[in-house]
Chains A and B, each alone.
Chain A
Amino acid sequence: MESAVAAEPKFLASAREQQRRMVEEYYEGLAHAGGPKKPVAYMLVGGNLTEIVRSFGYEVVFPEIVALNCAIKHVSLPNILHAESQGYGLDVCSYVKNDLGLQELGGETPFGRIPPPDLLVCSFSGCYVYVKWWEALAEKYGCPLFMLDVPYMRDDRPQAEDLQYLVSQLNEFIALLEKTTGRSFDLAELRRVLAQSRRAEEGWVDYLDSGRRRPSPIEAYFEAVFYMFPINVLRGTEAAATFYASVNAEVLERIETGRFPVPEEKFRLVVEGVPPYPSYRTFWDFFRKWGAVSVAATYPKVGGLFDRGFLHDPARPLESIAEYSLGAYVNQAWPLRRKLIEEYVRDFSADAVLIHGIKSCRSFTAGQGDLRDWLIHDLGIPTLYLESDHEDPRYFAPAQVKNRMDAFFESLAPRRRTPPVSMGTA
Chain B
Amino acid sequence: MTLVAGVDIGSTTAKCVLLEEGKVIGKSLAPVGVELVKDAERALAQALTETGRERREVRVVTGTGYGRFKVTFGQFTLTEIGCHAKGSHFLFPATRVVLDIGGQDTKAIKVNDQGEVIDFAMNDKCAAGTGRFLDVCAGALGFDVSEIGPLSQGARHPVKVTNTCTVFAESEVASYVARGKDPRDILAGLYESVVSRSLSLLQRVGIEPEVTFTGGVSRNEGVVRALDRRLGYPSNVSSLSQYVGAIGAALHGLARAEAATT
Contact = CB atoms under 8 A, between A and B. Distances in A.
Q: Tell whether A and B belong to one assembly.
A: yes
Nearest to A385: B121
Interface in A389-406: 395, 397, 399-400, 403-404, 406
Nearest to A408: B120
Interface stretch (B74-82, B131-139, B162-170): B74-82
A414 interface: yes
A376 interface: yes
Interface in B117-144: 117-120, 122, 124-125
A411 B80 CA distance: 12
A404 B117 contact: no
Interface residues of A, number: 18
Contacts of B122: 400, 404
B66 A414 contact: no
A373 interface: yes
A310 B82 CA distance: 44
Contacts of A415: 116, 118
A399 B116 contact: no
B204 interface: yes
A373 B122 CA distance: 14
A160 interface: no
A407 B119 contact: no
A403 B124 contact: no
| Interface majority SS (helix, strand, loop, mixed), chain B | mixed
B125 A407 contact: no
A415 B80 CA distance: 19
A270 to B, nearest CB: 17
B82 A407 contact: yes
B118 A411 contact: yes
Nearest to B119: A376
| Interface majority SS (helix, strand, loop, mixed), chain A | helix
Interface string A133-161: 00000000000000000000000000000
B124 A387 contact: yes
Contact of B116 (A397, A400, A414): A414
A410 interface: yes
Contacts of B124: 387, 400
Contacts of B79: 403, 406-407, 410
28 contacts: A373-B204, A376-B119, A377-B206, A382-B119, A387-B124, A395-B125, A399-B66, A400-B125, A403-B66, A403-B80, A404-B122, A406-B79, A407-B79, A407-B81, A407-B82, A407-B117, A407-B120, A410-B79, A410-B81, A410-B82, A411-B81, A411-B82, A411-B116, A411-B117, A411-B120, A414-B116, A415-B116, A415-B118
Interface of B: 66, 78-82, 116-120, 122, 124-125, 204, 206
Given A400-B125, A407-B120, A410-B78, 5 more contacts: A395-B125, A397-B125, A403-B79, A403-B81, A407-B79
